[in-house]
Chain A
Amino acid sequence: MANPDPWWAREKFWRTAAIVITGGMAVALIFLTFDTYPAIEAGGSKVPPYTVINKRIGYQYDSDLKRQVPVIGGEAPLFGEKRSPAEARAMVSKGKKIVQGRNCMDCHTLLGNGAYYAPDLTKSWLDPAWGSPAARESMMVSFLQDPPKYGRGYGSDRRMPDLGISEQEARSVVAFLKWMSAIDTNGFPANFPTIRQ
């Protein structure tokens, strides 16, 4: 008996379709990856160079794009010490390794990814909770060294545990957070009111 199935219901047709579609999509993804990569390298169009920790960073509404964008301002060296590109990279990298080693991402979110038990850290450098730019750096370092003492839960009982972070380590974490706040995240988080500076 002849095969009664129409062409679109045949096994062979769908096998070919599966191969062609999968191959095509994989090629498209590889092409897009090559296109995206230069933009997300440090110093690319979307991600700041590590030396951004020497600058003042803002997050302002762009009336053309209709969203907030990071704005890099004048000199504002972190902890009053201007760092070379290599020093800045080393400091941010050290901060990121501490963030990984203390498993911060299983309570907090970074760029919105992680766990939801503690606040998002994407723009934490710019958070109004630090009061003023003058007090911010020392407040962040004190907080990271002894979170149960310096943390604020705004009416919640949730606290950050003491993770044994030294002053030197805390400074590196702050560098990482400052650098992260300058990534152009396409407007996430929206409507973020920054610290007054």
Chain B
Amino acid sequence: MAEGALDTSNLNGGQKLAVKYFTVAVILFVAQIVFGVLAAQQYITPSFLFETLNFNVTRLIHIDAMIVWMLFGFLGATYWMLEEESGSPVVGLGLANLVFWVLTVAVTIVVLVFLFIQYGPGTQFTIWFINEGREYVEAPRWADIGIVAGLVVFFYNVVATFMNGRWTGIGGVLALDLIALGGIYVAGMFYTANLSIDQFWWWWVIHLWVEATWEVLVGCLVAWGLMKTLAVRRSIVTTWLYIEVALMFGAGILGLGHHYFWIGTPDYWLWIGGFFSALEPIPLVAMVVHAIYDSGVHRLKSANHPALAWFIAQAFGNFLGAGVWGFMQTLPQVNLFTHGTQWSASHGHLAFFGAYATINIAIFYLAVQQWRGNVWMGRDLPGNGWKWKWSLGLINGGMLGMGVAMLIAGYVESFIERAQLGSTWQAYFAAQTHPWFTSAMWWRQVFGVMTAAGVFLLVWDLATIGRGETRAAEKPTAEPAGEAATA
């Protein structure tokens, strides 16, 4: 085997499964970006693909590819760390492999149906087999059942492996989080004629996944990642993880109320949702402090520079996109005028990217390093590591640019459509045709293409970084002198 070649004999059982999940995740990530660019173009030239791939199809694939690639990334990342963290081979690995193939085939079928069948009549058949028509969980019911079954097997793998090896703080948090992850998804799996009840439970899935259980899962991955890349002491990351869980669930569970302002729910949710969701940025601040503190203590000395850079991008991106951008519109007094405008799109883009895309990318870099035989990924990479540096810059710059462009568009909608003209159809189009709005959509597309260029560069880099590398990975310093003395 050539030096630095991709070789699965470098991986343990869980990691072999993980790289399969990562491969599908990257393919879906590219699909998300391609369909995002198409949907953005439809804002600028509405006749583009009209009645071939209507906006609701391109947008559907854009957001669902995102959910699935991130979920695949999380599943892969958990299998990746499971054996090292528990000290035991993955229990039930054969079943886990079967689930991977079942999920991958299911996702392929769902995407093909979305692309080529697109719509169905107003029947239960459509809900079960074509399109459930509820944003983010459009996947038909049969696929929902597949996802839950897959999560049950995933939970079994994680718990049985930790039981077979050793339980750690990260393992304990992860296991409890996975119960919530699977259980909450079931809350959205039924049909009701009542839209208010529909959206009440729908938000359990969307909010409690994205703003609670996913955040905690990511907290586990970051905790493990900081030990891995910086050799941070376990007791420090575990204590931080508990702090983050306390703050995340403390604010995030009732923070759900910020989705219950306008869907027909009692008005006490204005106060509960406003108060608790205003607290939601606090754990994100804690995560930034944690990452910066550890990086500083360890003088940024890391065995994997691209991964560390993406871990730091995660800390900032999560705080900025989920925390700051979310806080801006979370109080009901503001949200009354921003709800259902490009403000939400701006926040959605920056939050999903900052909190979840970044962490997955960081772990992809850790994975390719090990996959190639734990090769060098520190300083002095060939070409000075231009590919990972440029992709990091293009993706982060592009996302931030898109977020700002959509925020400007959102302001136009808030002021003109919502506040001035009262949200009628005419008011809607008065905002959509305003030059400030249309120019913002152009800028969004410019930054979208910039992001896409960064993503293609990232894929190229992931496929090639470390190839032919003869140096072994640098070992991160376990404890800098000052730290060790006080430990």
Set of chain B residues within 8 Å of A11, measured between Cβ atoms: 169, 235, 238-239, 242
B46–A158 touching, CB < 8 Å: yes
Residue B3 interfacial (CB < 8 Å): no
Residue B468 interfacial (CB < 8 Å): no
Please report the C-alpha to C-alpha distance between residue A97 and residue B270 in the assembled complex, in whole angstroms.
Answer: 29
A115–B56 touching, CB < 8 Å: yes
A9–B239 touching, CB < 8 Å: yes
A104–B169 touching, CB < 8 Å: no
Residue A78 interfacial (CB < 8 Å): no
- Contact stretch, chosen from B124-132, B156-164, B470-478: B124-132
Contact of B194 among A41, A110, A156, A163 (CB under 8 A): A41
B37-60 contacts to A, CB under 8 A, are 42-43, 45-47, 50-51, 54-57, 59-60
Residue A72 interfacial (CB < 8 Å): no
Interface size class of A (residues with CB under 8 A): 35 or more
Residue A100 interfacial (CB < 8 Å): yes
A190–B336 touching, CB < 8 Å: yes
Contact of A116 among B131, B238, B344, B429 (CB under 8 A): B344
Which residue of A has the minimal Cβ distance to B239? A11
Residue A189 interfacial (CB < 8 Å): yes
Set of chain A residues within 8 Å of B121, measured between Cβ atoms: 98, 101, 169
B429–A40 touching, CB < 8 Å: no
Contact of B267 among A18, A22, A186 (CB under 8 A): A186
Contact of A161 among B54, B254, B339, B433 (CB under 8 A): B54
B122–A172 touching, CB < 8 Å: yes
Set of chain B residues within 8 Å of A105, measured between Cβ atoms: 56, 133-135
A74-121 contacts to B, CB under 8 A, are 89, 92-107, 109-120
How would residues 397 to 425 of chain B score, 1 for a CB under 8 Å from any chain A CB and 0 otherwise? Answer: 00000000000000001000011001111
Please report the C-alpha to C-alpha distance between residue A190 and residue B272 in the assembled complex, in whole angstroms.
Answer: 21
How would residues 156 to 197 of chain A score, 1 for a CB under 8 Å from any chain B CB and 0 otherwise? Answer: 111101111000010010001000100111111111110000
Chain A residues near B (Cβ < 8 Å): 4, 9-11, 14-15, 17-18, 21-22, 25-26, 28-29, 32, 35-37, 39-42, 45-47, 50, 89, 92-107, 109-120, 123-124, 127-129, 152-159, 161-164, 169, 172, 176, 180, 183-193
Across the A-B interface, give the 9 residue pairs with the lowest CB-CB distance, nearest first: A100-B133, A98-B122, A189-B423, A93-B193, A112-B340, A14-B242, A106-B56, A154-B429, A97-B122
